[in-house]
Chain A
Amino acid sequence: MEVTSQRGLEKKWWRTIDKPLLILYVILVVMGWFNIYSAVFDPDMADTFSFTSRYGKQLLFIGLAFTIAIVIMVIDVRIIIQYTYFFYGITVALLVLVLVVGTEVSGAKAWIQIGGLSIQPAEFAKFTTALAFAKYVSSPDINMRRMFSQMKSAVWFILPVILILLQPDAGSALVYAAFLLVLYREGMTGKILAAGAFLIFLFVISLLVHQYWIISGLVAIALVVFFYGEKTFGRIVLILSALLVCSAFVFGVDYAFDRLSAHQKSRINVLLGKDADIKGTGYNVNQSKIAIGSGELFGKGYLDGTQTKFNFVPEQSTDFIFCTIGEEWGWVGTTIVLSLFLTLLLRIIMLAERQRNNFFRIYGYCTASIIFIHIFVNIGMTIGFIPVIGIPLPFFSYGGSSLWGFTLLLFVFVKMDMKRYVM
């Protein structure tokens, strides 16, 4: 393969930048802005454009996000690599700081007020954690096939998780589960991923069904597994201990659920369909489903969504922005948005796999995983698959911190990809 000089590449950035990612990014951000405009659109003030309104501010945020992207394009990627741990340190320090001086918004100390600007450190911590984690895992003296190395690397994301949980903002903390996917890619056995999925399944089931039924089921499964395999002593011990762990888990869930706060309990109950209190906890989800569901095949048309216009869905410009798409653009619109996101994710994974540099590959996977988990939780929440967890839809949701965070995350990877031949 021909290696072009670095200087030449920098001049021809347009030739080396990954155009699909760039175009997808611009499309998503622009679509996001139009939907925010619709979500906060007030038919009584249709003629005035105001920079103090949410769509006005978001326009400023987008301008700043583009600036960030350009800056990343200009600076040397080696600086980013060099100062990775430093950036990580700063965000961790900010996460500590926010616990002390943060402003409380809906029960979580997540915001730092600087002048007229509020910043959410957790949104940036995703980016710096991804960088630091990727740098650590890719260092030559780490063998990710070893369990111990995997555990050591996990410390990088467990630390911000703990700090964010202290705010407390369970939603933002949940996002760090994305790193499990990366760990899996880099060496962790799939069994842990599968076991995790199975435990989540058990968790849900044990809230719905009486625990004795579940344990009967588990015993039945254990017997089937026992009879269809070698009947060695080691296997029997393994099956028995798995059974024991699962049973303990089931009882544990039940015990823990009894001790949850009423507010958390009802959120979970609403999701499981045990509690139909649509005016209370289920209100958001119900209204969100109504907005999306009423869009039908082609939607009600831009700015014509009645649920959107008249504020039936709370937090519509932030966490529930997907409702606006669903209502006004219909299933056609949601299909397009889903395809754009899917293309973005698959493109990032494709680019990650083509990196020769481990750091770049791992960072690429971090980027894809973080974006994926946001989409997974956010859209899942609006269509009633997942409890209400307040995290933004990447590039779409209103808010500077999240837009800048995602822009940083994505464009650092784009920059890395541009330099894949030289580093």
Chain B
Amino acid sequence: MFRLSKRQVITLIIVGTFLLYWVRLFYIQVIDDRYQISATNNAFRYKIQYPGRGLMYDRNEKLLVYNEPIYDLMVVPMQVDSSMNWKLLSKILEISLEDCQERLKKARKFSRYAASTFEKQISKEMYGRLQEYLYSFNGFYIQSRTLRRYPQAVAAHVLGSVGETDEGELKNNGYYRSGDYIGKSGLEKFYETDLRGKKGVNVVMVDVHNRERGSYKDGKYDSVSIPGSALYTTIDLVLQEYAEELMKNKRGSIVAIEPSTGEVLAYVSSPTYDPNLLVGRVRSQNYLKLLNDPSKPLFDRAIMASYPPGSIFKLAQALVGLQEGVITPSSGFTCDQSLIGCHNHPSAMSLQDGIKMSCNPYFYAVFRRILMQGKDNNRFIDSELGLEEWEEYMHGFGFGSKLGIDIANVKSGLIPGPKYYNKRHGKQRWAFSTIYSLSIGQGEIGLIPLQMANLAAIIANRGFYFTPHLVRSIGEDRHRPNIDTVRHKVGIDSIWFLPVVRGMYGAVNEAGGTARQARMENIAVCGKTGTAENPHGEDHAVFISFAPMDNPKIAISVFVENSGFGGTWSAPIASLIIEKYLTGEVKRVDLEKRMKNAVLNRP
């Protein structure tokens, strides 16, 4: 065995130590980049410049949403001097000393080096007091932000709300940092990327005493914030306010559309709430309150509630029957109440009368002819073939699928087709006799109020619709939102609309019509009532309408839950809105008063 001399052993110890250190240095300097990140957190403060969120205007450029500056107190736990005057800080912030410590602990848990919010949304007054002493609170600094404010407490469901990003949103989108705001519902959510603008950042160097030591590399890594784009909505503020007023103390919704463009003029879901409630420090508290409210004010009935449409659905059946050639405008059917229940009225001798009087047996017969066209001798197969074709037509009307409106969480409703019934009853185990209640808009079928209003728009346009939308243009350059501008044809020739429109006119304006309460001097209103059977209580009332009959300016659906017959409440409310929109003022003061004061939301 060879022996090392003592000199060699000592040399080996020295060289060995140096080699070990050298490798270790290679590891921490070149391989492990953890320290690089820590150093950045140590000495840089990324001061985020939050841009103002885009404003929102109504169709006449009246302000709906604006921003109010607020201040957040941020803390970098590592830089906090624990011996500072906590008492003073807690006094300025109006929180307890324990709360102060608790918040610091929480911030430290999140990160020692990165900033956390210590106190959110400080008022201007508090900010003033804090500013005076801030120099003595090492590790604290103020970040300015903005909050949403609403000059009028209207259109809460349309505008939506803004809240702090949750974990899911942080994970899905790299743009957001914890504590950032994001649109949570309504237009705020749908147009988030337009509204939010672009955050800017100032990279500032900070020394160990939390003093800012100027911008890093003369601002080489800074970026300027870009303010969010404004939304020019289609909402008519005056009409919206009026509609909301009418819906007070009622459950339901109103959707009014300009038929020639698809622009939504008014959009109400009742009960509603003051959008100012879901802003700032009070947001989470109020949100919980609204969430737990049994009347569900957060639930957007206009696009999320699916109801059987009742008799308004007969309009679509009439059109399909005409297009299919199974009936003519002059087809008459006796009011045979042994087939299906009806109210007392003379038998309808034409389609126009059938609609005007909303005769159930009439549309039972129409639907029967649509489904059973004799294409097969087996009535089961015949019904299935008929329903298949019918389903196509219904999709053409925008039923049973999502309308592409620019608001989040829109539902599609339900149009049951052969697939649905085959699954439910078994193949060839159902026929017209099983599903005839579809003819009068009852049964499994479901439409959302937006689809109902769109039906009115389709009839007003005599056969087509534009996708209903809430935003006309965006930003300074007024570019159009990314919504289709296609003229959606529903697959019914325009000539077949004449008897239907006449019937709707009759329902409102002629003796024996079901919607006489919607009648107005000087304006030719067309409408159709509906009553959606409600197994849980009083029936829901619906009225769809457009006016004037020729060259329609407004199409509307008014849905009032648990209000019984459609003509009693829904029709007058719709006519008041039409009057307001077309003439600018309401002359029928008594009717208006009666509608406003009606309380229909008793549990």
> Within 8 Å of chain A (Cβ to Cβ): is B39?
yes
> Within 8 Å of chain A (Cβ to Cβ): is B9?
yes
Choose from A43, A293, A365, A376 the contact partner of B29 (Cβ within 8 Å).
Answer: A293
Contact A342 B14 (CB under 8 A): yes
Choose from B7, B21, B32 the contact partner of A338 (Cβ within 8 Å).
Answer: B21
- Which of B96-104, B200-208, B359-367, B443-451 lies at the interface? B200-208
Give complex CA distance A417, B207 in Å. 48
Shortest Cβ distance from B25 into chain A, in angstroms?
Answer: 5
Residues of A within 8 A of B205 (CB): 306, 310
Choose from A185, A294, A383 the contact partner of B39 (Cβ within 8 Å).
Answer: A294
Give complex CA distance A145, B15 in Å. 27
What is the chain B residue whose CB lies nearest that of A380? B21
Interface residues of B in 1-52 (CB under 8 A from A): 6-7, 9-11, 13-15, 17-18, 21-22, 24-26, 28-30, 32-36, 38-40, 42-44
Interface residues of B in 199-228 (CB under 8 A from A): 205-209, 213-214
Interface residues of A in 324-378 (CB under 8 A from B): 326-327, 330-331, 334-335, 338, 341-342, 345-346, 349, 353, 365, 368, 372, 376
Contact B26 A331 (CB under 8 A): yes
Residues of B within 8 A of A379 (CB): 21
Choose from A292, A349, A372 the contact partner of B35 (Cβ within 8 Å).
Answer: A292
Contact A185 B26 (CB under 8 A): no
Interface residues of A in 278-298 (CB under 8 A from B): 278-279, 287, 289-297
> Within 8 Å of chain B (Cβ to Cβ): is A181?
yes
Interface residues of A in 378-396 (CB under 8 A from B): 379-380, 383, 385
> Within 8 Å of chain B (Cβ to Cβ): is A307?
yes
Contact A185 B7 (CB under 8 A): yes
Give complex CA distance A312, B40 in Å. 12
> Within 8 Å of chain B (Cβ to Cβ): is A149?
no
- Chain B residues within 8 Å of chain A by Cβ, number: 38
Contacts A190-B9, A326-B29, A346-B11 given; does A307 touch B18 at CB 8 Å: no
Contact B112 A279 (CB under 8 A): yes
Shortest Cβ distance from B38 into chain A, in angstroms?
Answer: 4
Contact B43 A310 (CB under 8 A): yes
Give complex CA distance A335, B25 in Å. 8
Contact A293 B39 (CB under 8 A): yes
> Within 8 Å of chain B (Cβ to Cβ): is A41?
no
Give complex CA distance A331, B22 in Å. 9
Contact A338 B42 (CB under 8 A): no
Give complex CA distance A353, B28 in Å. 36
Shortest Cβ distance from B31 into chain A, in angstroms?
Answer: 10
> Within 8 Å of chain B (Cβ to Cβ): is A311?
yes
Residues of A within 8 A of B6 (CB): 184-185, 190
Report A46-59 CB contacts with B as 1/0, cut-off 8 Å.
00000000000000
Interface hub of B6, B29, B32, B39 (most chain A Cβ within 10 A): B29
- Chain A residues within 8 Å of chain B by Cβ, number: 45
Contact B213 A43 (CB under 8 A): yes
Choose from B11, B29, B207, B209 the contact partner of A349 (Cβ within 8 Å).
Answer: B11
Contacts A278-B112, A310-B206, A376-B17 given; does A326 touch B42 at CB 8 Å: no
Contact B42 A293 (CB under 8 A): no
Choose from B11, B13, B42 the contact partner of A312 (Cβ within 8 Å).
Answer: B42
Interface hub of A190, A327, A334, A385 (most chain B Cβ within 10 A): A334
Give complex CA distance A143, B403 in Å. 104
Residues of A within 8 A of B36 (CB): 293-294, 296
Residues of B within 8 A of A383 (CB): 21, 24-25, 28
> Within 8 Å of chain A (Cβ to Cβ): is B78?
yes
Give complex CA distance A342, B18 in Å. 7
Contact A306 B39 (CB under 8 A): yes
Shortest Cβ distance from B14 into chain A, in angstroms?
Answer: 5
Contacts A307-B43, A310-B43, A311-B208 given; does A294 touch B35 at CB 8 Å: yes
Choose from B10, B18, B29, B78 the contact partner of A296 (Cβ within 8 Å).
Answer: B29
Contact B18 A292 (CB under 8 A): no
Choose from B10, B29, B44, B78 the contact partner of A331 (Cβ within 8 Å).
Answer: B29
Contact B78 A279 (CB under 8 A): yes
Contacts A43-B213, A290-B42, A312-B42 given; does A334 touch B18 at CB 8 Å: no
Choose from A294, A297, A380 the contact partner of B38 (Cβ within 8 Å).
Answer: A294
Contact A290 B35 (CB under 8 A): yes
Choose from A181, A295, A312, A385 the contact partner of B43 (Cβ within 8 Å).
Answer: A312
Contact B43 A306 (CB under 8 A): yes
Shortest Cβ distance from A349 into chain B, in angstroms?
Answer: 6
Give complex CA distance A300, B170 in Å. 33
Give complex CA distance A173, B15 in Å. 24
Shortest Cβ distance from B555 into chain A, in angstroms?
Answer: 64
Choose from B17, B26, B39 the contact partner of A307 (Cβ within 8 Å).
Answer: B39
Shortest Cβ distance from A67 into chain B, in angstroms?
Answer: 30
Residues of A within 8 A of B214 (CB): 43
Contact A292 B29 (CB under 8 A): yes
Contact B39 A338 (CB under 8 A): no
Give complex CA distance A334, B35 in Å. 16
Contact A345 B14 (CB under 8 A): yes
Give complex CA distance A181, B11 in Å. 11
Give complex CA distance A180, B558 in Å. 98
Residues of B within 8 A of A346 (CB): 11, 14-15
Residues of B within 8 A of A331 (CB): 25-26, 29-30
Give complex CA distance A315, B39 in Å. 18
Contacts A292-B28, A331-B30, A334-B25 given; does A310 touch B14 at CB 8 Å: no
Contact B28 A289 (CB under 8 A): yes
Contact A341 B42 (CB under 8 A): no
Give complex CA distance A383, B209 in Å. 24
Residues of A within 8 A of B13 (CB): 181
Residues of A within 8 A of B112 (CB): 278-279
Contact B10 A289 (CB under 8 A): no
Give complex CA distance A365, B26 in Å. 30
Choose from A311, A326, A349 the contact partner of B10 (Cβ within 8 Å).
Answer: A349
Give complex CA distance A289, B25 in Å. 10
Shortest Cβ distance from A315 into chain B, in angstroms?
Answer: 13
Residues of A within 8 A of B207 (CB): 309-312
Shortest Cβ distance from A372 into chain B, in angstroms?
Answer: 6
- 19 residue pairs A–B, Cβ–Cβ below 8 Å: A44-B213, A181-B10, A184-B9, A290-B39, A292-B25, A293-B34, A294-B35, A294-B38, A306-B42, A334-B25, A335-B22, A335-B25, A342-B14, A345-B14, A349-B14, A368-B14, A372-B17, A380-B21, A385-B24
Measured CB to CB, the residues of B under 8 A from A are 6-7, 9-11, 13-15, 17-18, 21-22, 24-26, 28-30, 32-36, 38-40, 42-44, 78, 112, 205-209, 213-214
Measured CB to CB, the residues of A under 8 A from B are 43-44, 181, 184-185, 190, 278-279, 287, 289-297, 306-307, 309-312, 326-327, 330-331, 334-335, 338, 341-342, 345-346, 349, 353, 365, 368, 372, 376, 379-380, 383, 385
Q: 8 shortest A-B CB distances, which residue pairs?
A: A293-B35, A294-B39, A310-B207, A306-B43, A331-B29, A293-B28, A311-B208, A290-B38
Using A278-B112, A294-B36, A306-B43 as known contacts, list a sample of 7 further A-B pairs with CB atoms less than 8 Å apart, ordered by residue number in A: A185-B7, A293-B29, A293-B35, A296-B30, A326-B25, A338-B18, A383-B25
